[in-house]
Structure 1
Amino acid sequence: MPSFDTVCDPDLVEVRNGVDNTTKEIQTRFDFKGTSAAIEIKDKEITLTGDADFQLQQIQDVLRNKLTKRGVDVRFLDVGTAQKAGGDKVRQVIKVRSGIEAETGKKIQRLIKDSKMKVQAAIQGDAVRVTGAKRDDLQAAMALIKKELPEVPLSFNNFRD
């Protein structure tokens, strides 16, 4: 039976490369000279450090630019709030989304069920598997999911006939 998996997985290698490129630009930019501006990545968390909120925003803009150039969707970034980090420094944590959350999975399942298409959706861990009798129905389901959930960077893989 034809099926595909709906997943939310960033290319972590490209994310790390984007962070590394951002670090290089921060070190060479004149407006960051002599400041505590820094960016680092650990697992799936990117930590921005700076002297003020304005500086964090500038680092974020550079990061988004570098990730976009590397083909990473910026919707994978879940930006946290800026917090004081001792002295006059400010820190902000950005989490890289990976996997479909339970709420989004249920939303996809409900969307497919309400569409009256001849396909079924089943949540499997952090992915949603959609199965159907015809390939055309599966492609219509892909289009429906992309259209109805534009805020989530979904991709479809493991397509089987």
Structure 2
Amino acid sequence: MAKDSSFDIVSKVNLPEVSNAVQQAQRELSQRFDFKNSKSSITLEDEKIILVSDDDFKLKNVVDILESKLVKRGISLKALDYGKPQPAAGNTLRQEVKMVQGIAQDKAKLINKVLKDSKIKVVSSIQGDEIRISGKNKDDLQAAIALLKKEDFGIELQFVNYR
């Protein structure tokens, strides 16, 4: 009897890489001429990035700097959830950027539905913020990975623990 093969679908952000990208963005902010005498800053707190700037235009530039550093470090921009800019102390704007960790239940159900509708012979089960896909044939698992890479679920998916 052949043992079932499986893999897990996760959506995780590499936090050390995010920290490095934030540090690079802070360095660029301190060196750029258009941010001289500005109250603009980028800070990392737990799994949130806090952006502070003088006005909307500068806040958009801060976001662009941060996104360019994240992309260079291999962090998907789909993993970021931007809050609304809010007024803060000293006539500044403050914006929180949350990092999406794990697959939400509604997204997991959507992924399961896509797999079931495809008629690929795999079994998917939701395990907290991960999804385990198993099947007898490794070719079916490869087909499932290819199918899920083509779809856009609004989050970054990683395929791990392939056995």
TM-score tier by shorter-chain length is over 0.9
Aligned to 2:30: 27
Aligned to 1:110: 113
Indicate whether 1:16 and 2:55 are aligned.
Answer: no
Q: 1:68 to 1:94 in 2, by over 3 A?
A: same
Q: Distance in 2 between matches of 1:62 and 1:29?
A: 11
Aligned to 1:74: 77
Aligned to 2:94: 91
Indicate whether 1:52 and 2:93 are aligned.
Answer: no
TM-score with structure 2 setting the length: 0.95
Indicate whether 1:38 and 2:77 are aligned.
Answer: no
Identity of aligned residues (%): 44
Q: Distance in 2 between matches of 1:85 and 1:150?
A: 34
Q: Aligned Cα RMSD in Å? A: 1.0
Q: What SS is found at the alignment partner of 1:41?
A: strand
Cα distance, 1:31 vs structure 2: 0.7
The AA in structure 2 aligned to 1:62 is I
Cα distance, 1:80 vs structure 2: 1.2
Q: Distance in 1 between matches of 2:158 and 2:132?
A: 12
Any stretches of 5+ residues in structure 1 without a counterpart? none
TM-score with structure 1 setting the length: 0.96
Aligned to 2:9: 6
Q: After superposing the two structures, state which structure 1 stretch, 105-114 or 143-152, moved more.
A: 143-152
Contact 2:21 2:69 in 1 (8 A): yes
